[in-house]
Amino acid sequence: MEAPLLHLALVGTPNSGKTSLFNALTGSRQKVANYPGVTVERKEGFFVTPLGRQVSLVDLPGTYSLRGRSPDEEITRDFVLGKASGEIKPDLVLCVADSTNLRLTIRLLLELKRTGRPLVLVLNMFDIATRRGITVDVERLAQELGVPVVTSIAVRKGGTAALLKHTDEISAQVQPQPQENTWRALTVSELRTTQREADRIIAASVSLPSRPDTWTARIDAVVLHPVGGLLVLALILFVMFQAVFAWAKPLMELLSGGFDGLGQLVHATLPAGLLQSFLQNGVISGVGSVIVFLPQIIIIFLFILLLEDFGYMARAAFLMDRIMGGAGLHGRAFIPLLSSFACAIPGIMATRVIDDRRDRLTTILIAPLMTCSARIPVYTLIISAFIPDTEVWGFIHLQGLVMFGLYAAGIVSALCVSFVIKFFMLRDYAPAPFMLELPDYKMPRLKSIAIGIFTRAKMFLQRAGTTIFSMMVLIWFLASFPQPPAGSTEPAIDFSLAAMIGKALEPLLAPVGFNWQIAVALIPGMAAREVAVAALGTVYAIEGGKEAAEQIGQVLATKWSLATALSLLAWYIFAPQCASTLAVIKRETGSWAWMATTFVYMLTLAYLASLATYTIAVALGAG
C-alpha cells in the first residue's frame, strides 16, 4: 500500500526566502489558486523525498505573527491550526528563517510552538549568513527551542538535502505526534515576553559580527536618497517602459501575424460558412487578440520579479509612499499602476504585492483607468482623423498634445476615484500604515524568476483559454446571428443581434453623440478595445481591418462630427471596454460584486464624460 500524501506547510516572515525555498523544493510542479471566498493566493507544490514519499507543500502567506491582522495572515493562522475550510491540518510545519535575521522568525516560531503542530525550523540563506561572519550553533538553537533545526540554501543545488532527509524521518514515524493546541492571540505583554525569550535564545546560540551588509548600505545611500532615489526610480521605469513597448513589439507582431496566418489558413481550407466564421473570427482572432499581450506580460513580470527578488520593490514603495499617499494610495500600489499602462491585466495581477485588502481593492478598481496599450490604436485613429496636424504656440504638436491630454486625464481621474473610494466607500477599513521591512539586497536567482514567470504566463494562458474564450464566443455569436438573408449586399453585421442591440442602444447613446454604428462597434470592442477599430471598419463596410486604419479615418471624418469624435475619445478614457480586464478583476477579488462595481462606475464616468464633452463641443459649434 502506498503511503498517503504527506502534507507540509511553509510559514515564515516576509523576505525569509520562503518562496525561493518553495521553488527549490517543488520546481515547476506548482498549482496556484485562490482560497475560497478570499483574494489570497494559494500556492501548492509537489515533490518526492529521497525515500520516495509523495509530499504536498503549501506556501502560506508571509506573516510576523499568528494574530491574523489581514486576510492573508488569517489564512496562515487558520491553515496551521487546521481551521481553514477545505484544508487538511499540515503533518509538518516548516518555519523558514532568513539566517542573517533571526529575531523576528524565532519569535514567530515560539508562537507557532503553542499550536502543537510538529515543527521544523529551516535556517535558509545559510550561505549568506556564513559569508557575513554570522555563526549559528545549530544544536544549541534546537535544544533551546525544543524544535529540530535544519539549514538550507534554497538557491543552490543540493542546498535542501538536510531538509529532505528530515522530511523522510518525519514521514517514517507512523504518526507524527501533534501536541495539544494551546495557542491563543498573544497580548501585548506576552508578545514582549516572547520577543525577550527569542532574543535570549539568539544571544545564547548565535554570534553576530554586528557589521551590517555594507553593500546594502552603499546601494541604499544612492537608491533611498530623497532626490537621487527618485531619479534612479525614474530611470528604472524608463527602461521598463522601453522594454514593454519596444522589446515586446517584434514578438507581438510575430504572434499576431501567426494568428492572422492561422485565420487565413482556416479561411482557405474550410468552406465559407458558419464553422469558418466561428473558427476564424470567433476563436482564432478572439483568443489571438488576447494572447498577443503575452510578451508584454512576460516582460513586465520579468521586471517585477527581478526587482522584488533584488529587494528593490520595498524601496520603490518607500520612495513613492507619501507622493501616492495624497490620493489615498499605498506606496506599494505604484508598480501595479505603472504596469497598467501596458495592460491592466498584468497590473491587476501585480497588486498581489499589496498586503492590505483595502489598499489592494482600491488599486484594482483604478488600474483600468490607466491608459493601456490597447487604447492606443483607437486614440491614434480618431486623433489622426479629426485633430488637425498643426502646431499651437509655434512649438507644440496639437495631435501629440491631445494624446498627452488623454493619458493625463486617465491618471488624474484614477487619483480622483481613489480619493473618493478612500473617503466614502471603504471607510470601515482601518487604513494600513506603511510599515515595511527593507530587506538586504540579494542577487536575484534566475531559476526562481523563471519559475515565477512560467507560473504567471500559465495562469494568463489558462484564463485566455477559458473565461476570455467564452466571452469571445458570445461576442462572435452576437455579431453573426441571425444570418443575413440570401443575396443581401449589406454587411452581415447589419442583420445581427449586435446591430439590433446597437440600434436599441442608439437612443441611449444619442445624447453623447454616438450613432448606431458606434454602438455596434463598442460591442465587439468589449473583447479588446482595439477590436473596435476593426469593427468600425466592418460596420462601415470597408475591406481590411487595422491595416486600413487611415482609410477608415477618412470615412469617419466625413460621417462623424468633431463633437462625436471627441465624445468617443472621452468615452474610451473611462469605459470598461475590456472583458478580459473584468474577468481578471473577478478572479483577483474573488467576487462578482467588485467586478460589477468596476463596470458600473467606469460606465457611469464614461457616459458623463462623453455627455459633457459632446454637449460642450456642440455648444462651441463642433456639432
Question: How far apart are CB 196 and another protein at their closest, in Å?
Answer: 7
* Cβ closest to another protein, residue 87 vs residue 199: 199
* Cβ closest to another protein, residue 279 vs residue 319: 319
Question: How far apart are CB 192 and another protein at their closest, in Å?
Answer: 6
* Cβ closest to another protein, residue 222 vs residue 239: 222
* Cβ closest to another protein, residue 67 vs residue 445: 67
Question: How far apart are CB 305 and another protein at their closest, in Å?
Answer: 21
* Cβ closest to another protein, residue 169 vs residue 437: 437
Question: How far apart are CB 130 and another protein at their closest, in Å?
Answer: 16
Question: How far apart are CB 103 and another protein at their closest, in Å?
Answer: 6
HSE at residue 332, side-chain half, CA atoms within 13 A, is 24
* Cβ closest to another protein, residue 226 vs residue 507: 226
List of residues 6+ apart from 433 with CB closer than 8 A? none
Question: How far apart are CB 321 and another protein at their closest, in Å?
Answer: 5
* Cβ closest to another protein, residue 211 vs residue 249: 211
* Cβ closest to another protein, residue 436 vs residue 471: 436
Q: Is the four-CA dihedral 557, 409, 313, 332 of positive or negative sign? A: negative
Question: How far apart are CB 258 and another protein at their closest, in Å?
Answer: 46
Question: How far apart are CB 202 and another protein at their closest, in Å?
Answer: 10
* Cβ closest to another protein, residue 440 vs residue 588: 440
Helix (H, G, I), strand (E, B) or coil at 63: coil
Q: Which of 73, 76, 61 is nearest to 18 (CA)?
A: 61
Surface-to-core class of residue 321, CB atoms within 10 Å of its CB (0-12 exposed, 13-18 middle, 19+ buried) = middle
Question: How far apart are CB 188 and another protein at their closest, in Å?
Answer: 5
HSE at residue 554, side-chain half, CA atoms within 13 A, is 4
Q: Which of 258, 307, 300 is nearest to 443 (CA)?
A: 307
133-146 in b/e burial notation, b at 16+ Cβ within 10 A?
ebebebeebbebbe
Phi, psi of 25 (to 5 degrees): -75, -40
Question: How far apart are CB 427 and another protein at their closest, in Å?
Answer: 11
How far, in Å, CA of 104 to CA of 455, rounded?
Answer: 30
How far, in Å, CA of 37 to CA of 359, rounded?
Answer: 18
* Cβ closest to another protein, residue 169 vs residue 321: 321
How far, in Å, CA of 576 to CA of 593, rounded?
Answer: 15
* Cβ closest to another protein, residue 319 vs residue 527: 319
CB of 364 closer than 8 Å to CB of 589: yes
Question: How far apart are CB 64 and another protein at their closest, in Å?
Answer: 4
How far, in Å, CA of 263 to CA of 589, rounded?
Answer: 35
Question: How far apart are CB 438 and another protein at their closest, in Å?
Answer: 4
Helix (H, G, I), strand (E, B) or coil at 484: coil
Q: Which of 377, 359, 375, 385 is nearest to 409 (CA)?
A: 375
* Cβ closest to another protein, residue 166 vs residue 442: 442
Question: How far apart are CB 563 and another protein at their closest, in Å?
Answer: 41
Nearest-5° angle of CA 285, CA 287, CA 292?
A: 85
**Residues paired with 43 in a beta bridge:** 32, 59
How far, in Å, CA of 541 to CA of 556, rounded?
Answer: 12
* Cβ closest to another protein, residue 203 vs residue 620: 203
CB of 127 closer than 8 Å to CB of 17: no
Question: How far apart are CB 71 and another protein at their closest, in Å?
Answer: 16
List of residues 6+ apart from 332 with CB closer than 8 A? 313, 317, 353, 354, 355, 359, 436
Residues that bind another protein (CB under 8 A): 64-65, 67, 69, 100-101, 103-104, 107, 186, 188, 191-192, 195-196, 199, 208, 210, 212, 216-217, 220, 224-227, 229-230, 314, 317-319, 321-323, 430-431, 433-440
Beta-carbon neighbour count of residue 338 at 10 Å? 22
How far, in Å, CA of 455 to CA of 29, rounded?
Answer: 10
HSE at residue 489, side-chain half, CA atoms within 13 A, is 0
CB of 317 closer than 8 Å to CB of 455: no
Nearest-5° angle of CA 585, CA 65, CA 128?
A: 95
CB of 61 closer than 8 Å to CB of 76: yes
* Cβ closest to another protein, residue 217 vs residue 446: 217
How far, in Å, CA of 107 to CA of 327, rounded?
Answer: 36
